[in-house]
Amino acid sequence: MLAISSYTVEQIRDPFGIIAGNRYEFMINLDIQEEDELYSENGVSVRAVVKEANGEVSIVTYDVMETTTQRILEFDLEDDEEEELAAFCKEHLPEG
């Protein structure tokens, strides 16, 4: 289970109208226990790009990274964690 401590979300602008639907960038800070293999003294965050079109929401891509250095970590989330991340993002999309 993902322990989310904080997040920010911003809409990614498409000034030329090339991309169908809306894209959002989530920066999600995770609370990772020291004994977890994902733990880092610099904190752990997930940067997720989310697509919303015709009422459907999906994750386009995500990176697991150290929070303070923004260095990409070579970890993928487990399938259930990816589902949890997608549900969190869908729940926290900005209005309008």
- Cα separation, 38 vs 11, in Å, equals 28
CA 30 to mean position of chain CA atoms: 10
Q: What is the tens place of the pLDDT at every residue in 24-42?
A: 999 999 999 999 888 889 9
Write down the pTM of the prediction. 0.90
- State yes or no: pLDDT of 94 exceeds 70: yes
Q: What is the tens place of the pLDDT at every residue in 59-78?
A: 999 999 999 999 999 988 99
CA torsion angle 86 31 49 23 (round to 10): 80
Token pair 């610099």: residue: 42
- Give the pair of three-digit tokens for residue 80: 């259930």
pLDDT of the residue at 39: 86
DSSP state of 84: H
pLDDT of the residue at 96: 58
pLDDT of the residue at 38: 84
- Single-letter amino acid code for the residue at 51: K
DSSP state of 72: B
Q: What is the mean pLDDT of the chain?
A: 92
- Cα separation, 52 vs 20, in Å, equals 9
pLDDT of the residue at 69: 95
